[in-house]
Amino acid sequence: MSVLAPPPQDELELELLIREARARQRRRRLIGAAAVAIWAAAGLSLWAAIPGLGGRNGGSGGGPRATSARSVDNSGRVQISEVGTSGGVTWAIDNKGMWLTTDGGRAWRAAIPATIRRLGLVSQHISQVTFVDRRHGWLYSGNVASNSAPLARSALFRTSDGGRSWQRATPKGCCGDLSFVDDRLGFLAGPRGLYETRNGGASWTRIGSQGSGEPLFLDARRGVLLLDGGILRTADGGRRWTSILLSGQPPAAGNKTVVMGSLAAAGHRLVLISERDFAAKMYPGDWRTIPYFSDDGGASWTRRPTPKGWVPYIGSSDGNLLSAPTANGWVAAARHELAVTTDAGLTWRIVHVAGVPKRWVIGSIDFTSLRVGWAIFDGPKQSYLMRTTDGGSHWAPAGPKARRAKHA
């Protein structure tokens, strides 16, 4: 179990600077070897689409119809660099602002705290956004006052009217990564420790010294912290933490480094895509991508196979390359294709992306079902927000219209 004393001030400042740099890195969406996960597909059988999903452009939520690669026209739309969905709300972010939609992209509304909008380069100042329903959401910024000390640069905002207005909700010793269970109960993990709120972020209470990491709480007691070198689990609301060793995972020592990848929750199931180095004396740097899931709040994990031959390009975790829209249905992204499972990772099938230029690569995904999803595609000069309604086979421009993207 882990019981840690609060780190000294200089370590706190360093930790916040590191978090800030990581947040900026995730938003740069660099092209090529420094931007997206490149997974080789040698030896894979080629499937055009998921059974029952390919060949049609249906699905819920509406949105634009898919087009061919030659006719993709993103002109007149905001060049979005990040997209995410939770609580029935989808947000899209670029350097000028943030927009929200609750109807699959038919209508977008500008929604950004004025403090951040005035800073410019908005995508560089937003570290995390999360909603639990269409009204209640939170936004964490790791850089709101670049001329201040590092601890003063972080700020947390909350909204109870769907982003129409924002109020500061910054706890003492802010800040870090967020995880909300409902519109009142939430947790914040940062270099000063773990904080809890029971009133939607209006006030916070420090409940433990262990905080650094990316939290994901399933309820008031069960949660996990995703670290660069492993995973911690709590069963008492964050007061005590236990280090978890995944099945088949070597100790993080010597040249056998463990790198944790993307974590998602579908109901009470946790889904983890882990990157692991099987380095040996003759073949150092032999990385593998391994999926796991947990049905007991992270106490135990079941390992699943990946599509044969898929190897991640290390150092390119800019975007979210895992989405778990259902407990058994997961989607993972590679450079030009998706790996999809409908049986919790027992078997995987490949969906090849059609209708986009060959030079575009997937930088990030977020699926709301196995048919409907969003993705950021990185082009040679800019990023494009696209949407699919057929399980990822075809995509169409879906970002807010530039001429309508005016701040209130």
Round to whole Å and give the CA distance between 211 and 213. 6
Q: Is residue 4 part of a domain?
A: no
Alpha-carbon distance of 241 to 257, in angstroms, equals 22
- Please indicate, yes or no, if residue 74 is contained in any of the structural domains: yes
CA separation for the pair 100, 89 (Å, rounded): 7
pLDDT computed for residue 307 by the predictor: 67
Any domain includes 2: no
Q: How far is the C-alpha of 201 from the C-alpha of 171, rounded, in Å?
A: 8
DSSP-derived letter for residue 163 is T
Q: Distances in Å between the alpha carbon of 268 and those of 34, 223, 298, 326?
A: 34, 11, 10, 10
The whole model's pTM is what?
Answer: 0.76
* Domain CATH for 362: 2.130.10.10
Total structural domains within the chain: 1
Identify which of 86, 72, 49 has the alpha carbon closest to the alpha carbon of residue 163: 86
From residue 146, give the alpha-carbon distance in Å to each of 87, 151, 369. 31, 11, 39
Specify the amino acid at residue 151.
L
State residue 336's pLDDT score.
Answer: 83
Q: Is 171 a domain residue?
A: yes
Residue 397: inside a domain: yes
Bridge partner list, 47: none
In a domain, 3, yes or no: no
| Distance separating alpha carbons of residues 319 and 236, to the nearest angstrom | 31
Which domain covers residue 257, as residue numbers?
Answer: 9-404
Q: What is the C-alpha separation between 218 and 344, in angstroms, rounded? A: 19
pLDDT in tens, the chain (408 residues): 333 333 444 444 444 443 443 443 444 332 222 222 222 232 333 233 334 333 333 333 344 444 444 445 666 888 888 899 999 999 999 888 899 999 999 999 999 888 888 877 788 788 899 999 999 999 998 766 544 444 456 889 999 999 999 998 888 767 788 999 999 999 998 888 899 999 999 999 999 887 778 899 999 999 999 887 678 999 999 999 998 877 655 444 443 445 566 788 888 999 987 766 555 444 445 556 778 899 999 999 998 887 665 654 433 444 577 889 999 999 988 878 888 999 998 998 889 898 888 888 888 899 999 999 999 998 888 888 999 999 999 999 998 988 644 443
What pLDDT score does 408 carry? 36
